Homo-oligomer: A and B are copies of this chain.
């Protein structure tokens, strides 16, 4: 868990829970300021009039150690009095906001109303919580992930939380992405001459990473960077560690495998880290997609798992496909 000497900067692209695990590992083994995490904001929405950025919040809580290790989301030592009181007022309860969690939403909403950017607010929150890495939203402009299902189009949180990913997906749209400007902090991190590695965290490629990649300038920034790009598979032996990735892939007509994810990122990444359970697919992919496959223990149950995987990923910095 001690810091390593790593020669350069690192950029990580991350969604929420799954990606944040590797982001935490990277944060713990790198020195303060070495890591910049570009966070998905396609899941952002307003609830009860408050601006909620679920993936940024998960990164803030995970990297500050405030996350709840048992529930797997939100803050530790959380209470739920607000939601009970909202219930008395007849308000819906499908999206649970903890009492402590509210602080970030209330503070963010107030600052946005006062004209601050999501980047500036995220930086403020991050510093207040003592986080040494930099967390930047992919954009300060609104991007809204829309899920087209057999029941029609759903806002992301309606699909993900309210409907628990039950409706069959037929497609995805990142509304606003075409007009969104890459956040200046994200652009600067990708253009940093000290950049030594770019990591695509094991988040859902379709729901969490694609919205980031959809922001104009992001893909070009990855290609222009001289640092290698390494993605870590969110699929182990055909199963998602958590969440609906495998189910979604099947609904989209894709074989739910690490190889499918590697092909999804082909052209963008140099290396793909798969779990040792999937090591057999190496040869195919190397030949077919120009991506070098690296087998490693990718299941991250403990903090040691996270830092070990982070070290393995960082060890790929000097290599190219």
Contact = CB atoms under 8 A, between A and B. Distances in A.
A128 B90 CA distance: 7
Contacts of A89: 103-104, 107, 125, 128-129
A163 interface: no
Contacts of A179: none
A110 interface: yes
A102 B75 contact: no
B79 A104 contact: no
Copies of this chain, whole number? 2
Most buried by B among A66, A103, A129: A103
A129 B87 CA distance: 11
A128 B87 CA distance: 10
Interface string A38-82: 000000000011100000000000000010000000010111011
Interface string A217-253: 0000000000000000000000000000000000000
Contact of A129 (B79, B88, B104): B88
Residue picked from A84, A98, A100, A109, most chain B C-beta under 10 Å: A100
A98 B85 CA distance: 11
A91 interface: yes
Contact of A102 (B85, B90, B107, B128): B85
Contacts of A106: 48-50, 82, 86, 102, 106
Nearest to A50: B106
B113 A100 contact: no
A99 B82 contact: yes
A86 B107 CA distance: 8
A88 B103 CA distance: 9
Contact of A85 (B49, B88, B100): B100
Nearest to A107: B89
A125 to B, nearest CB: 7
B99 A81 contact: yes
Given A48-B110, A107-B48, A100 B82 contact: yes
Q: Which 5 A-B pairs have the closest CB atoms?
A: A49-B110, A85-B103, A81-B99, A99-B99, A85-B100
Given A89-B125, A91-B103, A91-B107, 10 more contacts: A49-B106, A49-B109, A78-B81, A81-B81, A81-B100, A85-B99, A85-B103, A102-B102, A102-B106, A106-B106
